[in-house]
């Protein structure tokens, strides 16, 4: 027994257990083996395979597209299981890169879903442990499964020249496509400006940032947009095109290979924290929004109202603190006092 916490082989009769476990796993593997040989997916790699108590396993997969020499770009999706937009973008990229791989000048690693069990259920956290994977980085090689996943993912992505995390929107919100970078990261900001989003937000990291995936990598870009736990028409294509365009600006992809003309892309607005206002409700009830994302608003304009859930009586009219556009609007109506109901970007 290792008194620091690891069960050594001697304590449990390692040889016997090892034999029994191998026999058990191989029995399961035999049963699961396909009758026909499956086509080989050469660039598919399991970053980590997590054993489940039932004997099943679940893997975090990396798809690597490797052309000639050049930069390595990592695109990670599905760190939370309720962000299917990011997973869709990852699969759109895989489809495109499957055809474009021979012409790549560099390497693109796509991690379509870092939290497969949560995605299976459409919930944000890793099930059973109920752990928010995006609060466990850089992870722990000797910890629980989600901690080991965080560790393995971090180690696998390390060394990439550009890291992009693709999310959807926060669970209760609709958000315009936007890129988040850290203040002072000029290269990341310029790349984000090429990513076909409405806004590039140079956002100061909050208290929880050190435990997030993106914070582990200098210059990481976080893409958000759409509606929480939903696919939103157009958003997936916008973000996919944005990533492809960024690959072109880095020279990984030839401009001629882009499936669109660069002139068709959006020109983002670059903002800092001081341009973005969080608008909160002061009352509890149902928040009924008055406008959709990216709507122009003037100072004092109604963003929505909080009504009594039973009588329908208006408890509060929520107003925009400044002129600008709606960066995000709450679409799940139940609110408490202090709940964020909108973000307004002051242009």
Residues of this chain that interact with another protein (CB under 8 A) are 1, 3-7, 11-14, 16-17, 20-21, 24, 50-55, 128, 130, 142-145, 148, 172, 207, 280, 283-286, 309-310, 334-340
Cβ neighbours around 98 below 10 Å, total: 12
Strand 285-289 and strand 269-272: pairing? unpaired
Closest to another protein by CB, 128 or 262: 128
Residue 167 CB, shortest distance to another protein, in Å, is 17
Our CB check for another protein shows the closer of 307 and 327 to be 307
d(CA 313, CA 303): 17
CB 103, min distance to another protein, A:
42
Strands (E), the chain: 44-51, 57-66, 68-77, 105-111, 162-166, 173-181, 199-202, 221-227, 269-272, 276-280, 285-289, 296-297, 302-307, 314-319, 324-330, 334-335, 340-345
Instruction: Provide the residue count of the chain.
Output: 347
**CA atoms of 101 and 84, how far apart (whole Å):** 25
Of the two residues 46 and 254, which places its CB atom closer to another protein in the complex? 46
Q: Which residue number, 68 or 337, has a Cβ lying nearer to another protein?
A: 337
Q: Smallest gap, in angstroms, from Cβ of residue 47 to another protein? A: 17
Nearer to another protein, 92 or 147 (CB): 147
Comparison of 29 and 187: residue with beta carbon closer to another protein: 29
List the beta strands (DSSP E) in 203-283.
221-227, 269-272, 276-280
Residue 63 CA neighbour count, 13 Å, CB half: 20
Cβ 323 to another protein shortest distance, Å: 23
Task: Supply the minimum distance, in Å, between the C-beta of residue 149 and another protein.
Answer: 11
Nearest distance in Å: CB 24, another protein: 6
> In this complex, which beta carbon is closest to another protein, that of residue 58 or of residue 94?
58
Closer CB to another protein, 144 or 295, in the complex:
144
- CB of residue 115 to another protein, shortest distance in Å: 15
From the CB of 137, what's the least distance to another protein, in Å?
16
Long-range contacts of 211-214 (CB under 8 A, 24+ apart): 211/134, 211/135, 211/136, 211/137, 212/134, 212/135, 212/137, 213/76, 213/79, 213/114, 213/133, 213/134, 213/137, 213/150, 213/153, 213/154, 213/165, 214/163, 214/165, 214/180
């Amino acid at each position: 027994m290792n008194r620091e916490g690891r069960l050594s082989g001697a304590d449990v009769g390692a040889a016997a257990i090892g034999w029994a476990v191998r026999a058990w796993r191989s029995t399961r593997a035999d049963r699961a083996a396909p009758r026909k040989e499956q086509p080989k997916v050469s660039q598919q790699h399991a970053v980590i395979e997590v054993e489940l108590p039932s004997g099943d396993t679940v893997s975090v997969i990396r798809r690597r597209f490797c052309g000639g020499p050049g930069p390595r770009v990592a695109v990670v999706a599905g760190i939370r299981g309720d962000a299917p937009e990011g997973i869709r973008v990852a699969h759109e990229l895989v489809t495109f890169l499957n055809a474009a791989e021979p012409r790549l000048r560099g390497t693109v690693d796509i991690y379509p879903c870092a939290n497969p069990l949560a995605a299976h259920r459409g919930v944000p956290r890793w099930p059973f442990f109920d752990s928010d994977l995006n609060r466990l980085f850089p992870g722990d090689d000797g910890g629980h499964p989600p901690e080991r996943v965080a560790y393995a993912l971090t180690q696998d992505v390390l060394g990439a020249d550009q890291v992009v995390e693709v999310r959807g929107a926060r669970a209760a919100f609709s958000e315009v496509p936007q890129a988040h970078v850290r203040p002072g990261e000029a290269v990341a900001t310029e790349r984000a400006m090429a990513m076909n989003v409405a806004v590039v937000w140079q956002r100061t990291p909050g208290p929880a940032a050190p435990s997030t995936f993106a914070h582990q990598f200098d210059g990481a870009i976080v893409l958000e947009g759409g509606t929480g736990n939903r696919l939103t028409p157009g958003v997936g294509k916008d973000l996919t095109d944005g990533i492809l365009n960024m690959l072109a600006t880095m020279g990984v992809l030839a401009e001629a290979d882009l499936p669109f003309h660069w002139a068709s892309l959006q020109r983002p607005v670059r903002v800092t924290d001081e341009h973005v206002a969080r608008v909160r409700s002061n009352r509890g009830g149902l928040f009924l929004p008055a406008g959709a994302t990216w709507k122009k608003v003037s100072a004092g304009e109604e963003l929505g109202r909080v009504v009594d859930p039973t009588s329908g009586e208006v408890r509060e009219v929520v107003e925009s603190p400044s002129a600008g556009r709606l960066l995000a609007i709450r679409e799940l109506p139940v609110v408490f006092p202090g709940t964020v109901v909108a973000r307004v970007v002051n242009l």
